[in-house]
Amino acid sequence: MTVNAMSVKEVTKKIVNKDELFILDVRNEDDFKDWKIEGENFEHFNIPYFELLDGVEGIMDEIPANKELLVVCAKEGSSVMVAEMLSEEGLTASYLPGGMKAWSEHLEPVKVGNVNDGGEIYQFVRIGKGCLSYMVVSNGEAALIDATRMTDIYLEFAESIGAKITHVFDTHLHADHISGGRKIVEETNATYWLPPKDATEVTFDYAPLEGGNVVTIGNTAIDIHALYSPGHTIGSTSFVVDGQFLLSGDILFIDSIGRPDLAGMAEDWVGDLRESLYSRYRELSEELVVLPAHFMIIDELNDDGSVSEKLGTLFAKNHGLTIEDENEFRKLVTENLPPQPNAYQEIRETNMGKVNPEEEKQREMEIGPNRCAVR
């Protein structure tokens, strides 16, 4: 019996459109609790696949007859079998091709604005993991910021709009996902920029990204001003693009702020984090549109599926920016932090070039939600 496939792109569209969807997740309970597909109008029911080997009759009462039904598992196979069982019981069920692995890797490009003289800026939303990367385009040249390891998507997108990637940036040494920076540089001969204070142990060549750097894309002078803003890491660097957009890396999110503990340096870096957010950022225009490197919850998505907000609005509404007492701030960012990202130390070493895991191993290292924020 054939069942429907519902692609990750279709599920993403349902999230953006706030459509209803009932998800039967047949992974183990611990995996489900750690990380699932979230949408404002999504409902979930979790039961491990092995409990359904004798049939699905026992769960029919849990599944609404009037909602679209998607079966999800880790890789795909189990969800196809369960969807087939449900179809035999008279339900219309779809499965997610590639399972949660595919969900983790999907990137959705969204245009977030225009820059000088016909240039554009695009946000690539990694909907299943909360990572956000960016492409600034002008006169046939492109700069890529905080690229994921799914490099083909950026290369194909740049080609589709007639642009060549000439500069690649990482705002900091990432600990929750593997950077695609080096791979893209190998294929494009672009310049790879890294904050030198985060690059003391890297094993490859890079251009030092420091406060005061101005990098021009195309011949229309889109200036990317690097703003040294330590706290999440000691080298964390923000960018002001074209005087309009603040790419805040993992320092500032829409609903939270960056955690300083992923290199084991929370107590040492909390002062840097406060200075970056409460002094350096306060000197910037409140009209700047903040474009962070992550989002935490689906509620942070705008109506078009992008993630952004004016800096002035965040100064007023983001709890992490409104704590006047320094000791209270210190407690917020050093105590009661969420678990650290899966395999974060191994991911850091991969991004330094010290280890080079096989692709399947890289997938496993990244599985799970992002945990870069103070909650």
- Rounded mean pLDDT of the chain? 90
pLDDT of residue 218: 81
DSSP state of 329: H
* One domain, residues 98 and 116: no
What number is the average pLDDT over the span 201-218?
87
pLDDT of residue 1: 60
pLDDT of residue 236: 87
CATH number at residue 207: 3.60.15.10
* One domain, residues 212 and 346: yes
Confidence of residue 65 (pLDDT cuts 50, 70, 90): confident
pLDDT surpasses 80 at 35: yes
What number is the average pLDDT over the span 317-322?
93
Confidence of residue 263 (pLDDT cuts 50, 70, 90): low
73 is catalytic: yes
pLDDT surpasses 60 at 11: yes
Report pLDDT digits (tens) over 47-62: 999 999 999 999 999 9
* One domain, residues 132 and 250: yes
Structure tokens at 63: 């599944």
* One domain, residues 287 and 156: yes
pLDDT of residue 355: 93
pLDDT of residue 158: 97
pLDDT surpasses 80 at 219: no
- Between CA 184 and CA 178 the distance in angstroms is 13
What number is the average pLDDT over the span 178-203?
95
Report pLDDT digits (tens) over 16-31: 999 999 999 999 999 9
3-state SS, residue 375: coil
* One domain, residues 85 and 229: no
DSSP 151-175: HHHHHHHHHHTT-EEEEEE-SS--S
Confidence of residue 369 (pLDDT cuts 50, 70, 90): confident
The residue out of 48, 82, 102 marking a domain boundary is: 102
Confidence of residue 330 (pLDDT cuts 50, 70, 90): confident
pLDDT of residue 341: 64
* One domain, residues 192 and 73: no
Q: Is the full-model pTM beyond 0.85?
A: yes
Q: Which of 8, 47, 56, 73 is catalytic?
A: 73
pLDDT of residue 363: 87
pLDDT of residue 96: 98
Confidence of residue 230 (pLDDT cuts 50, 70, 90): confident
pLDDT of residue 264: 61
- Between CA 41 and CA 366 the distance in angstroms is 26
Report pLDDT digits (tens) over 199-209: 999 999 999 98
* One domain, residues 315 and 166: yes
pLDDT of residue 364: 86
Q: What are phi and psi of 149, to 5 degrees?
A: -75, -10
pLDDT surpasses 70 at 128: yes
What number is the average pLDDT over the span 113-125?
91
Q: Total domain count for the chain?
A: 2
3-state SS, residue 49: helix
Domain of residue 253 covers 107-374
pLDDT of residue 273: 86
Confidence of residue 4 (pLDDT cuts 50, 70, 90): very high
What number is the average pLDDT over the span 94-117?
94
Q: Please give the C-alpha separations between residue 301 and each of 90, 113, 241, 344, in angstroms, as whole numbers.
A: 35, 16, 21, 25
* 148 DSSP β-pair partners: 179
* One domain, residues 166 and 214: yes
Comparing 104 with 233, the larger pLDDT belongs to: 104
CATH number at residue 90: 3.40.250.10
* 225 DSSP β-pair partners: 214, 240
* One domain, residues 96 and 223: no
* One domain, residues 199 and 269: yes
